[in-house]
Amino acid sequence: MRHPILFDTDPGVDDAQAIAIALCHPELELLGLTTTYGNVDVEVATHNALLLAQLAGRADVPVAQGAAAPLVKTRHPPPAHIHGANGLGDIALPEVQGKADPRSAAQFIVDTVNARPGEVTLVAVGPLGNLAAALQLDPSLTERVKQVVIMGGSIREGGNVTPVAEANMFNDPHAASRVLTAGWPLTLVGLDATHRCVLTAEHMARIAAGQGDLGQVLAGSYAFYRDFYREFLDIDGCCPHDSCALAWLLRPELFTTARGHLTVVTEGDAEGQTLFAPAGRAFIEPRWARTPAITACLNADGPGVSDWIADVLAGAGPPA
Ligand code: RIB
Ligand code: CA
């Protein structure tokens, strides 16, 4: 079965790896890339999305630019020490030929989903302002998407930008709250799963060999990202966070999940924290079950996911 997907992203080194999968996997029909600020400014995110599609020989894939800032809170500067100031490890990049779609990311999402009701999966791997804006434009979108898969949040793992918050949730907790409680079929692929996965230098060597010009960009940016993991987290390799969302979509048996109700903390020291109340469990007040039930990943077969990513990208090069 082929999944028609829209991929919402802030590329970003690990975003770039995931985009490469979205562009080449035979079971995915990539309908477009929508961009947001996050790892970089939104203009840089759009540039990188256009470039990655071009390098994969897929300049036909539309790219629509979206959110430049959070809905409510003040924006933090982009994490150049993790992804590089250009989002791709500060390596020299080729010229981009194409241009973005004139529509906003939110309008593009609404148009694309409504053109194929019940078919489209939204995969979002950055701050969630574009999905929140799309819901604002057309609240009935919740009934017409097939499903929503989000890389973000943390149930038991703790945070990566604060002790309790994962980056995509922290960057725009108000948008995250709207999107995660909107009542559409949703799976959260958070740090509980992505921190189990490490993409090693051996994996990346295979990916570089399999992806032509795109492989050179993936490998160069990986080297920068790996330095961050080594220096700050004492890990030799890096967590392929955003690719895990696609791994969940195509290889769900590699993940352990649970149903439950999410609350996103929007203010205070815990902003961006995702609170998960397991379905069917009675807590002291009914309010913990007031949001629609979603699926959350609580664990993953890390080596299995990492090998899957490398196998996909090593085995499928850009079209001749
Ligand atoms: O916490 C991981 C997420 O934050 C990923 O989407 C990564 O690209 C960063 O933005
Ligand atoms: Ca991302």
For ligand 1, what atom is nearest to the CA of residue 194?
Answer: 2
- Which one is catalytic: 25, 47, 83, 241? 241
Q: Which ligand has the minimum distance to the alpha carbon of residue 225?
A: 1
Residue 319 lies in a domain: no
Query: Is residue 161 included in any domain, yes or no?
Result: yes
Instruction: Count the domains in the chain.
Output: 1
47: annotated active-site residue: no
Let me know if residue 194 belongs to a domain: yes
Range of the domain at 234: 3-313
**Whose CA is closest to 86, among 45, 37, 55?**
45
* Residue range 184-223, pLDDT digits in tens: 999 999 999 999 999 999 999 999 999 999 999 999 999 9
Angle at 242 between CA 295 and CA 106, to 5 degrees: 80
- CATH number for the domain that contains residue 13: 3.90.245.10
289, part of any domain: yes
Say if residue 102 is exposed, middle or buried (CB neighbours under 10 Å; 0-12, 13-18, 19+): exposed
Within a domain: 29: yes
- Name which of 152-161, 182-191, 226-235, 292-301 the model is least confident about: 226-235
| Residue 122: strand pairing partners | 6, 148
Res. 319: pLDDT tops 50:
no
How far is the CA of 318 from the CAs of 184, 208, 231, 305, in angstroms?
34, 12, 33, 22
Q: Is the pTM of this model over 0.75?
A: yes
E strands, the chain, are: 3-9, 28-35, 63-65, 121-124, 147-151, 186-189, 255-264, 274-278, 293-300
For residue 79, the ligand closest to its alpha carbon is 1
* 320: in domain: no
252 within a domain of the structure (yes/no): yes
**Ligand 1 pocket, residues with Cβ under 6 angstroms:** 10, 12, 14-15, 38-39, 125-126, 151, 160, 166-168, 241-242
Mutate which of 151, 166, 171, 246 for ligand 1 pocket (most atoms within 8 A of beta carbon): 151
pLDDT, tens only, 137-154: 999 999 999 999 999 999
